[in-house]
Amino acid sequence: TASHILTLWGMADLGSSQTDVYTLSLTYDPDKARPEHLGRGLFGLAARDADGNWVNAVEMNAGGSAKFVKGAWKPGYGLGTYGIDPSTKTAWAVVNHQGDFAVTGFAETCRKK
């Protein structure tokens, strides 16, 4: 990973991992990012799936559509929007789940919801 791992819990009802919609942003070490991945949506905020693999954090959402943005987060971005802001060395995603999060590379395509 190119960041520390953040574990978020206590944001969902008991027995569920789904939360209200929120935006999570983490800083990353640019020396651990492949420059060719930064503008293509192949590096960003990731979450662990049920098998313990790091996947694009928006893949774990309940609903929404994956949409990559190169640049800063802006109010109004919908569930599933994710991005990387090289100027601030941050990765962000609009999500509705809790769990483990980190900044890393991931597969080119997101699962369709």
- Tens digit of each residue's pLDDT (9 = 90 or more) over 11-41: 888 888 789 999 999 999 998 887 766 777 8
Query: Residue 108 — very low, low, confident or very high, per pLDDT cuts 50/70/90?
Result: low
What was the pLDDT predicted at 110? 53
Which letter, b or e, does each residue of 81-108 get, where b requires 16 or more Cβ atoms within 10 Å of its Cβ?
bbbbbeeebbbbbbbbbbbebbbbbbee
What was the pLDDT predicted at 13? 84
